[in-house]
Chains A and B, each alone.
Chain A
Amino acid sequence: MALKDVLKKYKPLDTGLSKERMDVFQQGLDAISVKHLTKAFGDMKALDDLSISFPKSLVTGLIGPSGAGKSTLINLITGALKPDDGLIALNGQAYSFIEPYRMREFKVARTFQNGRVIGRLSVEDNLLLAVAKNNVWQGLKEFETEPYKKKLEGILIKTGLKEYRRKKAAELSVELKKMLDIGRALMQDADIYIFDEPFTGISSKMLEDVLSAVDILRVEAKTVILIEHNMSLIEKLSDYLIVLDHGKVLADGAPKDVLKNKRVRDALKM
């Protein structure tokens, strides 16, 4: 089945019905917002005085031509890079830099473009790594995986990794590594999920799995940020769309309106 057919079949859940979600949206809360964020690599300004907000409990699409600063923005938000200037606010609290290990505390889960996994650990262990005790003393006393079992089984089925559970992650195919990366994010009990191009380079069966995972997050009123290149996919999936170009915001708003914008169409060569 080609990507087109999967998309034709796929209809996002009608989440207008979810009261919980509408409430949060009407309050106008932001899950993440950045103010005057600047980051340069040498002479190249990856982000230039960027101010933008990701609304809470919505699926936000983040698009732009390559080199627009999408990944840099995510790396700054998750503490992988230090901003040169500006502030990042998570759940209303502003920081100039957040250490990456505090992401669990802030309930932020993220995936990576190329499916980053720990090759020497089994698939199960890779998933458990996201939820096991993150303290030296507690970690030393923890041998049981029983408390995580229910969640683990669920994720293994959702991502289609059940038959590979005891295999080393290094032995998986590229597609499966990517699914494992996504599964590890889903394993976390986060409020904000950031997916970096989750639909690229996976089979159509897996695509359906990821789509339904996003739908579940949508129903659970989680904040989802999707970086994606496929326009028809992003139009269907996202409630809110942000377009970046040359480190600046080109447009943001409802996906339909944004994609009609001429400057956006020019920048994305649509």
Chain B
Amino acid sequence: MAYLSNFGIVFCVYAMLWLALNLAKGVSGFVLLTHALFYGAGAYATVILTRKYGFSLSLFLPLCLTVTIICYAAAVWLGRSSFGRTLKALEEDEKLTMFLGYQTLQYKSFVFAVSALMAGIAGSFLGLYIVFVNHASFQLAAGIFFFALIVAWGFRSAFGKKGSKKWRLKMF
């Protein structure tokens, strides 16, 4: 049981991270290596709060699952609305999307904010679970590792298909 709950929690944390990055890369085309920072911030914040107020671990797994599902629903929401259509368009041809009346910078900023928020939530669950956090877990290498997640778990198009020209490294 302990193994299953351990597996479940770690799975949920990485699922949320995957959703966050997939939203950024898969839908709007940005490669973000910044998410280790938000993930770390979430973890630190939660650990500090927990030490102050205490937290019971008994409800942890269901809570973690629920939040993951909410994140998933949010990603689906974004993808299916008119907003999602615009995001997909701007990933492929930003200039053209602008001609059609969209202020693409606003769209990019919004999707970055949502993606960072999701990574933060994932981090706070990890913080709650392992209780001990230090800076070593949240450096650039972690960001690259998270990016490897969406490569391994897949995003909209695989690496080889897109021309290397299309790869934009966006560091906000």
Contacts and interface: CB of A to CB of B under 8 A. Distances in A.
A112 B100 CA distance: 13
A116 B93 CA distance: 9
Contact of B88 (A104, A121, A141, A142): A121
Contacts of B103: 101, 134
Interface in A111-140: 112, 116, 118-121, 125, 128-130, 132-134, 136, 138-140
Contacts of B78: 140
B49 interface: no
Nearest to A132: B82
Contact of B81 (A116, A118, A134, A140): A140
B102 A134 contact: yes
Contact of A118 (B83, B93, B106): B93
Given A116-B93, A118-B93, A78 B85 contact: no
B15 to A, nearest CB: 23
Contacts of A138: 82
B55 interface: no
B98 interface: yes
Interface size class of A (residues with CB under 8 A): 20 to 34
Contacts of A142: 81-83
A103 B82 contact: no
Nearest to B110: A136
A131 B62 CA distance: 42
Contact of B89 (A101, A121, A141): A121
Interface residues of B, number: 27
Interface in B41-69: none
A143 B88 contact: no
A139 B81 CA distance: 7
B22 interface: no
Interface in A49-88: 78, 80
Nearest to B96: A116
B30 to A, nearest CB: 16
B99 A118 contact: no
A188 B88 CA distance: 20
A240 B82 CA distance: 39
A188 B80 CA distance: 22
Contacts of B77: 140
Interface in B18-39: none
Q: Give 5 closest A-B pairs by Cβ, nearest first.
A: A104-B101, A139-B83, A142-B82, A132-B82, A134-B101
Interface of B: 77-78, 80-83, 85-86, 88-89, 91-93, 95-104, 106-107, 110, 156
24 contacts: A80-B99, A101-B98, A101-B99, A101-B101, A104-B101, A110-B99, A112-B96, A118-B97, A120-B91, A120-B92, A125-B85, A129-B86, A129-B89, A132-B86, A134-B103, A136-B83, A139-B83, A140-B77, A140-B78, A140-B82, A141-B81, A143-B80, A143-B81, A143-B82
